[in-house]
Structure 1
Amino acid sequence: MNSVITAKAADIDVPVLIVGGGGAGLTCSMLLSQLGIETLLVSALPTTSILPKAHVLNQRTMEILDDVGVAEPIFAKSTPAENMSAMGWYAGFAGPDPDLGRLIAKLETWGCGYTNLNWMQASPCRSANLPQIRLEPIMKARADELNPGRVRFHHELTRLEQDGDGVTAWITNRDTGTEYLVRARYVLGCDGGRTIPRLIGIPHEGLGVIAQTATAHISADLSKLARDPDVLIRWIWCPAIGEMAVLVPMGPDHWGPDSEEWVFHVTYRGEGPKDLTDEQIEKNMRLALGIPDLPMTVHKVTRWALEGVLASRFRAERVFLVGDAAHRHPPTGGLGLTSGIQDAHNLCWKLAAVLKGQAGESLLDTYEAERRPVDARNIQRSMENSMAHMEAGAAFGLNPGASAKENWTQFRRILSDKPEDAAFRSGALRAIRRLSMEANELNVEYGYRYQSAAVIPDGSPLPEPTDDIRLYEPSTHPGSPLPHAWLNDESGQRLAMKDLVKPGRFLLIAGEEGQNWCAAAAALVAANDLPIDTVRIGHIDGDLFDPRLAWAQFRGISDKGAVLVRPDRVVCWRHVGASRDPLAALSGALGAVLGRSFREGVTNTPELVPAK
């Protein structure tokens, strides 16, 4: 076979080949289909995930999944809000000692069931909780619906070659053993890093493996033992093994203590569980939880590394890394899958704009510039969360080398009211309070700001956060996610700000006296066939109304100013007030974002109202 295959020799010619059918790959497929871009998705795996992992879906991620039409079925199967409003720490789980199963502390998580006002202010979508084993089939069904016959599992990419015009990929249908060639303009590597990074020569960097974890996916009736129906994640102090363990309900039909399925995690120091048999891991689980004879079905035992790594680059010519192929996180904080879905959201509108001739090729360079720093921070937070849990175990006096009696002796100091135990008790409770950041990191989820050629600085200083992790303070500072607000139209119908941004389209939001900005945008559209919508928002005047001044509070412009929002709902430019030449200002900003120039006919503008 020739080393270079021409497009004519390929069996399939497609603008975008997506390699990998997990959360990131399926999101890419849905987004690009929605944008009118033909794709082929291939996954080496025979099915979607068989593991109940990566279950937390944060608000920003649910907004994206809402865009592609899967939020409603996800929420229908997700943990109800009232069953995921807290995390709890417990003194063991079950057993003869009256203190076993005793609640040590409880903290709010992920907006406390969408009752925390900060979280309600951040988004019209609440967080969800649905393990990948049930999430991915929903996503795949929608991807199939949007792109029939072009979502192919058990089709493995074995080789690829790039040239100046595109990429040629060799795909093997593992069901039949036949090989076929695919020719694509671009390839998205969403395969978890199994193949694509190696084929394009991109290494990963990071701290590597810091610990080893064993996970058991079980069916068992724990309803008489698990307490607190509001608790999603139970951190269990296990004196018998000297480690902290985690117990999480997995549904599928009931949640809280009545959940039919559960996952049990325990992280081992040192060599960990790699030499333990499944039977030994089950025995350790029963010992840790104090349920030696409880009937259960063990569906699967897995062993995995607690690691945080980041690809040195997110792009090699026409191949892009997305999701776990670009970064891998510890699960603490739920930032892994959500980061991958947000990678896809950032990249896909840019690919569509380039393929449709709306943007220059340079727009694609902004993907790595924007996402890599955000993903690096998410990895750091995931690692910090994991380390904080290990430190909490130490603060509780847990020692894997000690006997259960010795561990109990240390633990009872937390319950003691003796003066000599006060510092120990205070340190243990402080360690738990510190862990509030794991499921209360709203500023990590929303407070990032992209910096690239696709974001035009306005010269204003970056806002100083009150709390860099926990407290999200919405802003239209260029590079920020568009703040959320509930708006009304003239009939009083309520609209979410996010829904004003249509797939693949920019949105110019002007103040109530911003007619000139809207006229300038209309001129740009007429002369260049650009995908721009416009709206004026005010409390009394405008096209839409801001009844609670939710938008006015964060818009950062006057009634004569304007904000330009990209298709991924990121603010890319703003002008605080009026301009004597709004057309030049807007066309210059949009041209810089899209990496292109506009036709001279753009100067034929509608009549503008003189700026005051």
Structure 2
Amino acid sequence: MIPVSPVKRADIDVPVLIVGGGGAGLTCSMLLSQLGIETLLVSALPTTSILPKAHVLNQRTMEILDDVGIAEAIYAKSTPAENMSAMGWYAGFAGADPEMGRLIAKLETWGGGYTNVNWIQASPCRSANLPQIRLEPIMKARADALNPGGVRFHHELTRLEQDDEGVLAWVLNSDTGSEYTVRARYLLGCDGGRTIPRLVGIAHEGLGVIAQTATAHISADLSKLAKDPDVLIRWIWCPAIGEMAVLVPMGPDHWGPDSEEWVFHVTYRGEGPKDLTDDQIEQTMRLALGIPDLPMKVHKVTRWALEGVLASKFRAGRVFLVGDAAHRHPPTGGLGLTSGIQDAHNLCWKLAAVLKGEAEKALLDTYEAERRPVDARNIQRSMENSMAHMEAGAAFGLNPAASAEENWAQFRRILSGRPDDAGFRSGALRAIRRLSMEANELNVEYGYRYQSAAIVPDGSSLPEAIDDIRLYEPSTFPGSPLPHAWLDDEAGNRLPIKDLVKPGRFLLIAGERGEPWCSAALALAAEHGLPIDAVRIGHIDGDLFDPRLAWAQFRGISDKGAVLVRPDRVVSWRHSGAAADPQGVLGEALRRVLAHRVVPTDASAAEQTPAE
């Protein structure tokens, strides 16, 4: 621990300092504001993202963004469901050859535009697609509204020190050139790893850079060339350059083939595009797509590394790493931004509980224990997706050292119908089918299970997954996300079960004959000042009703049992049936989850257990 230098007084004193104003930092700001925790967010950048960057927002991420009140605004600007239900693979894009632009294969993605029953069953929120250049302004506006004056862009953290009581940070206002100090109880490093990991001595590990990518963000009318309005991501076999390229619509006002803006990616083996000028990359794009003279505006050309790295630890004293500061992924599968938003969701309720005196500091140790294994798996899946695309290019016979004619000759083997080409065709199509996992990895997005001191095992065994990547099987096994179900109240109003979990509050869900569990939860809440709500759910009896038996199918308890759900909608404990001492059993579970914060009610004992 680096001791804080003696400073007369910090200019600003705040419970939580957030460093970084991207998706992870803005999510932390919104969540903590909603939980009643004062924060200051500083970002070295002058504005939110000027690049499209990440764009796919999976269902669990959309649930979190719904929690902070921006899901509807995102859906309003997002790709319509019917325009993001497939990925397509094409033989080139445009050109004189009659085969150019021919569809090779098409695969369903992200639940087929929220029509796949597994995806409908998983969540009341469908996946969305909105590039960060348009997502982050929505997030920042909401963060500003929830915390006026507490979100500062073009303010750069230059130095930090910490002791056992907090963190002292020096911040440069790049607009005025003046510097000020901030004293905080905790600091959240959400800066993409630019500064904070180095300042606190946290290294990253993993495979590192596996390839280099060039991206062009353009405006162009491709409506007469881009077929298949249901396709979001076009993987284009480019014989002229011997590489696979990617073309993705970016809206903003129209989608599908009518999109006004697009991003083009090409990944290079070897040294990559670092020595290429912007003009050279534009010419490569035009050559690859066969559009040498098409009018277009190039907004920005960027070069970036395809890498997969994970921080050796997510915490150093009172500093936590969140999002890209803790893990960086290839974009394949859309797991990078979504992982960062889910990191924030896991950490923020814990910080709030500690700062409010509802939990002990040990609860914060569970952030790394829970999120690091999930993020590691997400990196692995992103890397596997990227490697699978490279293998698909090889299966198509693409060779960057070959001429366009030689690459075309290889491709025509897929279409020839000759018996001696049957194996080649089969191998190419198999490579594409394998790629279906990239946008059909629901069990990666939802099927994780946390293991930490904040999860109480119930002694049951976890059944083996039918498909560890693609098929999500909802469950209340401790550590799992709360399964989705639509519920009715007595008036017939329908709501998703997720909406029962209020910000910063636990939810005890009992079976229809689980009144003792509900009484125990309310008694513990009253005696110890704990944020706990309780409800009975059943098909015929209860406080709320399960009209489709969706909750009954996955609840994993009897009509006398109970499930305890954390504020991040993760099941922390369950009891299959009744108990002789429900208050004692539930109190012990809460004691473990909150790191021994359930204390005796007499004042002297409470004084001996000071809040953080």
Interval of TM-score (by shorter of Structure 1 and Structure 2): over 0.9
Give the aligned partner of residue 567 of structure 2. 567
Query: Alpha-carbon deviations, 1:18-37, whole Å to 9, x = none?
Result: 00000000000000000000
Specify the SS of the correspondent of 1:168: strand
Give the aligned partner of residue 181 of structure 1. 181
Give the aligned partner of residue 300 of structure 1. 300
Q: Name the CA distance, whole Å, in 1 between partners of 2:42 and 2:402.
A: 50
Alignment of 1:406-485 (within 5 A): 406-485=406-485
Specify the SS of the correspondent of 2:536: strand
Report the AA paired with residue 107 of structure 2: L
Alignment of 1:54-65 (within 5 A): 54-65=54-65
Q: Name the CA distance, whole Å, in 2 between partners of 1:8 and 1:65.
A: 40
Give the aligned partner of residue 80 of structure 1. 80
Give the aligned partner of residue 609 of structure 2. none
Tell me the CA shift for residue 375 of structure 1. 0.1
Tell me the CA shift for residue 3 of structure 1. 7.7
Whether the aligned pair in 2 keeps the contact of 1:111 and 1:118 (CA below 8 Å) is: yes
Give the aligned partner of residue 530 of structure 1. 530
Residue 540 in structure 1 maps to residue 571 in structure 2: no
Tell me the CA shift for residue 461 of structure 1. 0.7
Residue 26 in structure 1 maps to residue 26 in structure 2: yes
Report the AA paired with residue 312 of structure 2: S
Alignment of 1:79-158 (within 5 A): 79-158=79-158
Q: Name the CA distance, whole Å, in 2 between partners of 1:522 and 1:246.
A: 55
Query: Alpha-carbon deviations, 1:368-411, whole Å to 9, x = none?
Result: 00000000000000000000000000000000000000000000
- Higher mean C-alpha displacement, 544-553 vs 4-13: 4-13
Query: Alpha-carbon deviations, 1:467-515, whole Å to 9, x = none?
Result: 0000000000000000000000001110101000000000000000000
Q: Name the CA distance, whole Å, in 2 between partners of 1:504 and 1:376.
A: 27
Whether the aligned pair in 2 keeps the contact of 1:214 and 1:281 (CA below 8 Å) is: yes
Whether the aligned pair in 1 keeps the contact of 2:219 and 2:261 (CA below 8 Å) is: yes
Give the aligned partner of residue 282 of structure 2. 282
Q: Name the CA distance, whole Å, in 2 between partners of 1:410 and 1:76.
A: 44
Q: Name the CA distance, whole Å, in 1 between partners of 2:363 and 2:463.
A: 26
Give the aligned partner of residue 588 of structure 1. 588
Query: Alpha-carbon deviations, 1:141-189, whole Å to 9, x = none?
Result: 0000000001000000000000111000000000000000000000000
Report the AA paired with residue 98 of structure 1: P
Query: Alpha-carbon deviations, 1:295-351, whole Å to 9, x = none?
Result: 000000000000000000000000000000000000000000000000000000000
Aligned length: 601
Tell me the CA shift for residue 599 of structure 1. 3.5
Q: Name the CA distance, whole Å, in 1 between partners of 2:597 and 2:199.
A: 36
Q: Name the CA distance, whole Å, in 1 between partners of 2:175 and 2:519.
A: 57
Tell me the CA shift for residue 108 of structure 1. 0.4
Residue 170 in structure 1 maps to residue 157 in structure 2: no
Q: Name the CA distance, whole Å, in 1 between partners of 2:554 and 2:3.
A: 56
Specify the SS of the correspondent of 1:580: coil
Give the aligned partner of residue 4 of structure 1. 4
Give the aligned partner of residue 321 of structure 1. 321
Whether the aligned pair in 2 keeps the contact of 1:7 and 1:13 (CA below 8 Å) is: no
Q: Name the CA distance, whole Å, in 1 between partners of 2:345 and 2:544.
A: 26
Report the AA paired with residue 198 of structure 2: R
Whether the aligned pair in 2 keeps the contact of 1:475 and 1:556 (CA below 8 Å) is: yes
Give the aligned partner of residue 358 of structure 2. 358
Q: Name the CA distance, whole Å, in 2 between partners of 1:4 and 1:165.
A: 10
* Gap runs ≥5 in structure 2: 603-612
Q: Name the CA distance, whole Å, in 1 between partners of 2:495 and 2:282.
A: 50
Whether the aligned pair in 2 keeps the contact of 1:91 and 1:101 (CA below 8 Å) is: yes
Residue 382 in structure 1 maps to residue 401 in structure 2: no
Whether the aligned pair in 1 keeps the contact of 2:4 and 2:167 (CA below 8 Å) is: no
Specify the SS of the correspondent of 2:439: coil
Query: Alpha-carbon deviations, 1:556-608, whole Å to 9, x = none?
Result: 00000000000000000000000001111100000100012433349xxxxxx
Residue 372 in structure 1 maps to residue 372 in structure 2: yes
Whether the aligned pair in 2 keeps the contact of 1:7 and 1:183 (CA below 8 Å) is: no
Which TM-score applies when normalising by structure 1?
Answer: 0.97
Query: Alpha-carbon deviations, 1:506-542, whole Å to 9, x = none?
Result: 0000000000000111110111111000000000000
Q: Name the CA distance, whole Å, in 2 between partners of 1:4 and 1:571.
A: 39
Give the aligned partner of residue 15 of structure 2. 15
Give the aligned partner of residue 511 of structure 2. 511
Specify the SS of the correspondent of 1:299: strand
Specify the SS of the correspondent of 1:62: helix
Give the aligned partner of residue 251 of structure 2. 251
Q: Name the CA distance, whole Å, in 2 between partners of 1:200 and 1:50.
A: 28
Q: Name the CA distance, whole Å, in 1 between partners of 2:362 and 2:163.
A: 18
Tell me the CA shift for residue 4 of structure 1. 3.4
RMSD: 1.0
Specify the SS of the correspondent of 1:18: strand
Specify the SS of the correspondent of 2:553: helix
Tell me the CA shift for residue 462 of structure 1. 1.2
Report the AA paired with residue 479 of structure 2: G
Report the AA paired with residue 384 of structure 1: E
Whether the aligned pair in 1 keeps the contact of 2:188 and 2:319 (CA below 8 Å) is: yes
Tell me the CA shift for residue 7 of structure 1. 7.4
Query: Alpha-carbon deviations, 1:353-376, whole Å to 9, x = none?
Result: 000000000000000000000000
Specify the SS of the correspondent of 1:274: coil
Which TM-score applies when normalising by structure 2?
Answer: 0.97
Specify the SS of the correspondent of 2:458: coil
Q: Name the CA distance, whole Å, in 2 between partners of 1:104 and 1:597.
A: 59
Specify the SS of the correspondent of 1:480: coil
* Pair 1:6–1:586, CA change in 2 (3 A): farther
Q: Name the CA distance, whole Å, in 1 between partners of 2:523 and 2:69.
A: 32
Whether the aligned pair in 1 keeps the contact of 2:51 and 2:133 (CA below 8 Å) is: yes
Give the aligned partner of residue 607 of structure 1. none
Whether the aligned pair in 2 keeps the contact of 1:442 and 1:471 (CA below 8 Å) is: yes
Using the aligned pairs only, state the percent identity.
86
Whether the aligned pair in 1 keeps the contact of 2:173 and 2:179 (CA below 8 Å) is: yes
Specify the SS of the correspondent of 2:548: coil
Q: Name the CA distance, whole Å, in 2 between partners of 1:372 and 1:463.
A: 23
Specify the SS of the correspondent of 2:274: helix
Q: Name the CA distance, whole Å, in 2 between partners of 1:442 and 1:67.
A: 21
Q: Name the CA distance, whole Å, in 1 between partners of 2:348 and 2:463.
A: 29
* Gap runs ≥5 in structure 1: 603-612
Whether the aligned pair in 1 keeps the contact of 2:3 and 2:162 (CA below 8 Å) is: no
Tell me the CA shift for residue 463 of structure 1. 2.0
- Higher mean C-alpha displacement, 306-315 vs 2-11: 2-11
Give the aligned partner of residue 161 of structure 1. 161
Q: Name the CA distance, whole Å, in 1 between partners of 2:58 and 2:125.
A: 9
Alignment of 1:224-235 (within 5 A): 224-235=224-235
Whether the aligned pair in 1 keeps the contact of 2:167 and 2:186 (CA below 8 Å) is: yes
Report the AA paired with residue 412 of structure 1: R
Specify the SS of the correspondent of 1:273: coil
Whether the aligned pair in 1 keeps the contact of 2:156 and 2:172 (CA below 8 Å) is: yes
Q: Name the CA distance, whole Å, in 1 between partners of 2:437 and 2:458.
A: 32
Whether the aligned pair in 2 keeps the contact of 1:511 and 1:558 (CA below 8 Å) is: yes
Tell me the CA shift for residue 8 of structure 1. 5.7
Tell me the CA shift for residue 53 of structure 1. 1.0
Give the aligned partner of residue 598 of structure 1. 598
Query: Alpha-carbon deviations, 1:419-454, whole Å to 9, x = none?
Result: 000000000000000000000000000000000000
Q: Name the CA distance, whole Å, in 2 between partners of 1:507 and 1:519.
A: 13
